């Protein structure tokens, strides 16, 4: 094993350690909410103790921020990037909506935590460094929402979508989709086809409300 391979493996192992803690945190926060979750709870999900958590993260807030960042990354890569492809606007939008719906289900812990509260923790006692991180996360969310705004605007321009208040419709659209994290819980033996059926049903409804009436 040469030096670079070793270095890479070492970084992967370290990343895996962090990722395991992060995943446990996401699950714990999803169950009980941020404030009601103790670091001991997070460690408990790993069969470990506080030491392991604090080895990778400096504070509970940092853990929380990283869950958010990861969920935003998932959204951008899974759905946001579709906005930049080369296809009719309405087609892109439909695939974005479907992809977002599926993301809510397949990455439920991260998405659920992300949905239930960023701005809540702007008020609390945060250090300047944490405040900066928080602003970055808000920016990520805004950038993601803008992808939807842009695509819908393009759809209006090319006549596929009826004229409407784009910002308001995006809020409704993403609200309906994010709400999945409230009611969806994976059942035993849940299949991909099952999730796709639900995503399709919602997508059809939400896209249908945008179409120009064909008269």
- Residue pair 151/89 in contact (Cβ under 8 Å)? The answer is yes
74 binds, among its own copies, DNA, none (CB under 5 to 8 A by kind): none
Interaction of residue 210 with its own copies, rule CB under 8 A = yes
Q: Is 116 exposed, middle or buried (0-12, 13-18, 19+ CB in 10 A)?
A: middle
Distance, CA of 101 to CA of 178 (rounded, Å): 8
Interaction of residue 37 with DNA, rule CB under 7 A = yes
Distance, CA of 41 to CA of 34 (rounded, Å): 11
Q: What is the dihedral of CA 131, 137, 141, 147, to 10 degrees?
A: 120
User: Mask of contacts with DNA, 60-99, x by CB under 7 A?
Assistant: xx--------------------------------------
By beta-carbon proximity to DNA, the closer residue of 60 and 98 is 60
DSSP state letter for 80: G
Q: Which stretch binds DNA (CB under 7 A): 41-49, 88-96, 109-117, 165-173?
A: 41-49
Q: Which stretch binds its own copies (CB under 8 A): 10-18, 58-66, 119-127, 132-140?
A: 119-127
Interface residue list for its own copies (CB under 8 A): 31-36, 116-117, 120, 123-124, 164-165, 168-169, 171-180, 182-183, 198, 201-202, 204-210, 213-214
């Amino acid at each position: 094993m040469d030096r670079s391979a070793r270095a890479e493996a070492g970084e992967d192992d370290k990343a895996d350690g962090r990722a395991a803690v992060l995943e446990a945190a996401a699950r714990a926060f999803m169950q009980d909410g941020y404030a009601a979750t103790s670091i001991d709870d997070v460690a408990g999900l790993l069969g470990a103790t506080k030491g392991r958590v604090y080895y990778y993260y400096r504070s509970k807030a940092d853990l929380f921020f990283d869950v958010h960042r990861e969920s935003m990354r998932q959204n951008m890569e899974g759905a946001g990037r579709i906005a930049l492809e080369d296809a009719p606007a309405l087609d892109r939008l439909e695939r974005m909506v479907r992809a977002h719906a599926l993301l809510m289900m397949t990455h439920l812990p991260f998405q659920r935590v992300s949905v239930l509260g960023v701005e809540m923790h702007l008020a609390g006692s945060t250090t300047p460094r944490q405040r900066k991180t928080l602003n970055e996360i808000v920016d990520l969310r805004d950038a993601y929402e803008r992808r939807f705004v842009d695509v819908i605007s393009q759809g209006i321009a090319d006549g596929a979508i009826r004229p409407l208040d784009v910002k308001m419709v995006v809020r409704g659209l993403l609200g309906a989709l994010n709400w999945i994290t409230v009611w969806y819980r994976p059942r035993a033996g849940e299949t991909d086809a099952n999730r796709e059926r639900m995503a399709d049903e919602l997508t059809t409804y939400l896209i249908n409300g945008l179409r120009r009436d064909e008269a």
